[in-house]
Amino acid sequence: MEKIWLREYPPGVPTEVDLNEFGSLKDILEKSCRRFADLPAYSNMGVTLRYRDIDRLSRAFGAWLQQSLGLGKGERVAVMMPNILQYPVALFGILRAGLIVVNVNPLYTPRELEHQLKDSGATAIVIVENFAHTLQEVLDRTPVKTVITTQLGDLFPFPKRPLVNFVVKRVKKLVPVWNIPGAIPFRQVLSEGESKTLADVPLNHEDLAFLQYTGGTTGVSKGAMLTHGNLVANLQQASAWLSSVSKPGEETIITALPLYHIFSLTVNGLVFMKVGGHNILITNPRDMPGFVKELGKVRFTAISGVNTLFNALLHAPGFNQLNFSALKLSVAGGMAVQRAVAENWWRVTGTPLIEGYGLTETSPLATANPLTIREYSGSIGLPIPSTDLSIRDDEGRELGLGEAGEICIRGPQVMRGYWQRPDETAKVMTADGYLRTGDIGVVDERGYARIVDRKKDMILVSGFNVYPNEVEDVAMLHPGVLEAAAVGVPDEKTGEAVKLVVVKKDPALTIEALIEHCRQHLTAYKAPRQVEFRTELPKTNVGKILRRLLREG
């Protein structure tokens, strides 16, 4: 497709970015730590780590992984934490040691956690002890040999550190009982690592940085292989797009989406690190009163989120009383932005919601609206610099403007492939290097793209992918279920929610019992919110369940 979108680029945004300015994420981090040493990098619950602190602590963590564990280049280390100060320390320590980060959702069930640890081959894991009981259940069935545990307040100064940890464990009772012999405390690792030397591991664009897990239409979570080159490219692309509003060393971004999710990881944790920004880490954004209170303490210039988060903030008491005079950038992704939310956000904050689009497989940013927009359009914007977009039919033929087809993306941010799954990689990559996104879209005469449908049966709950086969597999584990089909249904709070349509084997099976069964085996956002019993499911003549008919009612 001709790059007609380049004519719509705002002044100062390049059509191509310099991919060779940095050899790796390590280079970007170390440059920022030198350039912005005295500036705040990450804050949480009123405690701040400056760039020099991130440099020192991540160096110690990486040195310990190399020298004490003997981990060599390319080995995998899992990180299972919410947004706390230990996350960037562990993240950058792993990367600086030449190792590969495997991000893990802390809310995973034992089944989900076991699959990811086995599939990735992670030999070490850093985990907040609130979730250690989950790991304990599956540890002996995984390749993990070293468990590093941390408490929420471990990087807070005395006396805040013991006080927070006591309240979390003893007062709020947020730490279920666990017992993992040989687990090593995070603070001990840092203490021992400070006396060790971090060996310089040569890294280039071809080296893997992350195994970032994403679902598949088969229901099996797959690791997208994201290289240092992929992430360097996306950081260059995103910072070029933001260059008209972001000033090095002067930005403060609210980071409420979890950093283990690719959107927040790249846009917040990495892009703003590259420009010397200050990430305000929100550990529990579901605590809306606490979240709003935190927002009132800081003069923030940027915030990222999904539609549901912005909507929740707009309805939270006190939010519309905050001072938004410094706010100049509100970035939305992960799911479609609703017109009512976008217009209400503009009215309350005076800034537009800038919607972008991408996938785990594109590191994630692929398209974005110009920062100059002032009103909601429903568009996912223009392909960002150094990115090609093509609309194709089922046979792979390129379609014209205004014609609906599958959105395909090509660029330096597109993953190398799926970890140890060449079969799955082949399904999504075209012969000419495009990633088939599974989303159906159109491009208008100005080059703006719009999503009109999803080719996949994927359900999008608050920006998180839910794959029907996984939900169905869990439902079928219940002895009272004969057949099951999962579909997405509209939901005011989460955009979509999971609905399960079931044919009973046991006439006594209840909706409540089935939902409870699913909640035991699935992360909360994947669990069905609705269950409908039917005598049969609609199917094709070869027996494939017609989810489309179920969605239509």
CA distance 342 to 330: 10
Does residue 206 fall inside a structural domain? no
Q: Please choose, from the candidates 116, 95, 94, the residue with its C-alpha nearest in 3D space to the C-alpha of residue 105.
A: 116
Q: Look at residue 217 in the predicted model and tell me its pLDDT.
A: 40
> Whats the size of the chain, residue-wise?
553
Question: Residue 525 domain-assigned?
Answer: yes
* Nearest CA among 489, 75, 39, 411 for reference residue 232: 411
DSSP string, 329-383: EEEE-SSPPPHHHHHHHHHHHSS-EEEEEE-GGGSSEEEE--TT--S-----BEE
Confidence of residue 457 (pLDDT cuts 50, 70, 90): confident
The per-residue pLDDT for 542 is 52
Domain-embedded: residue 273: no
Output the pLDDT for position 337. Answer: 85
Over 50: is that where the pLDDT of 79 sits?
yes
Q: Which residue has the tokens 């290097």?
A: 433
Residue 454 has pLDDT above 80, yes or no: no
- Of the pLDDT bands very low, low, confident and very high (cuts 50, 70, 90), residue 199 is very high
Using one digit for the tens of pLDDT, what is the confidence trace for 493-541? Answer: 899 999 999 999 999 999 999 999 999 999 999 999 999 999 999 986 5
Q: What pLDDT score was predicted for residue 399?
A: 97
Number of Cβ within 10 Å of residue 319's Cβ equals: 18
**470, part of any domain:** yes
User: What is the per-residue DSSP string for 33-72?
Assistant: HHHTTTSEEEEETTEEEEHHHHHHHHHHHHHHHHHTS---
In the chain, what's the furthest Cα-to-Cα distance?
68
Instruction: State the residue for tokens 């915030």.
Output: 303
DSSP readout, 67-96?
HTS---TT-EEEEE--SSTHHHHHHHHHHH
Domain count for the chain: 1
Q: Which residue has the tokens 């290289």?
A: 227
To which residue do tokens 């940027």 refer?
A: 302
CA atoms of 333 and 362, how far apart (whole Å): 13
Q: Where are the beta strands (DSSP E) in 182-309?
A: 184-185, 208-214, 222-227, 252-255, 278-281, 302-305
Are residues 341 and 332 in contact, defined by beta-carbon separation less than 8 angstroms?
no
Rg (CA), the chain: 23
Structural domain contains residue 416: no
Q: Any idea what DSSP says for residue 384?
A: P
The CA distance from 172 to 92, in Å, is 31
What's the pLDDT at 257?
Answer: 94
SS3 492: coil
Q: What is the mean pLDDT of residues 130-146?
A: 98
CA distances, 520 to each of 39, 246, 282, 478, 524 (Å): 44, 44, 27, 11, 9
Domain span at residue 540 reads 459-551
Which pLDDT score is estimated for 124?
Answer: 98
H helices present in 98-227, as ranges: 110-120, 132-138, 160-166, 186-193
What pLDDT does 300 receive?
A: 98
Q: By three-state DSSP, how is residue 538 classified? A: coil
Q: What are the backbone angles phi and psi of residue 422, rounded to the nearest 5°?
A: -60, -25
Q: What is the pLDDT of residue 543?
A: 60
Determine the pLDDT at residue 218: 46
CA–CA gap between residue 472 and residue 461 (Å, rounded): 16
* Mean pLDDT calculated for residue range 275-284: 98
Going by C-alpha positions, the residue among 47, 315, 324, 80 that lies closest to residue 186 is 80
How far apart are alpha carbons 148 and 65 in whole angstroms?
Answer: 11
Residue at 494 is within a domain: yes
Sheet holding 435-443, edge to edge: 388-392, 405-410, 435-443, 449-454
Q: Name every residue whose Cβ is closer than 8 Å to that of residue 182 and which is 6 or more positions away in sequence.
A: 147
**Distances 285 to 194, 289, 474 between C-alpha atoms, Å:** 33, 9, 28
Residue-level pLDDT at 216: 46
Determine, yes or no, domain membership for 547.
Answer: yes
Amino acid, res. 166: F
CB atoms within 10 A of CB 166: 13
Q: What is the pLDDT of residues 53-65, one digit of tens each?
A: 999 999 999 999 9
Identify the residue with better confidence: 455 or 9.
9
Percent of the chain scoring above 90 in pLDDT: 85
CA distance 499 to 423: 30
Give the Cα separation of 431 and 172 in Å (integer): 54
Using DSSP, state whether 518 is helix, strand or coil.
helix
Give which of 244, 240, 272, 275 is closest to 259, Cα–Cα: 272
Q: Do 296 and 322 touch, CB atoms closer than 8 A?
A: yes
Residues 199-225 have a mean pLDDT of 87
Instruction: Tell me if 77 sits within 8 A of 125, measured CB to CB.
Output: yes
- Residue 484 sits in a domain whose CATH number is 3.30.300.30
Say if residue 2 is exposed, middle or buried (CB neighbours under 10 Å; 0-12, 13-18, 19+): exposed
Task: Specify whether the backbone of 447 is left (phi greater than 0), alpha (psi in -120 to 50) or beta.
Answer: left
Retrieve residue 357's tokens.
């689009």
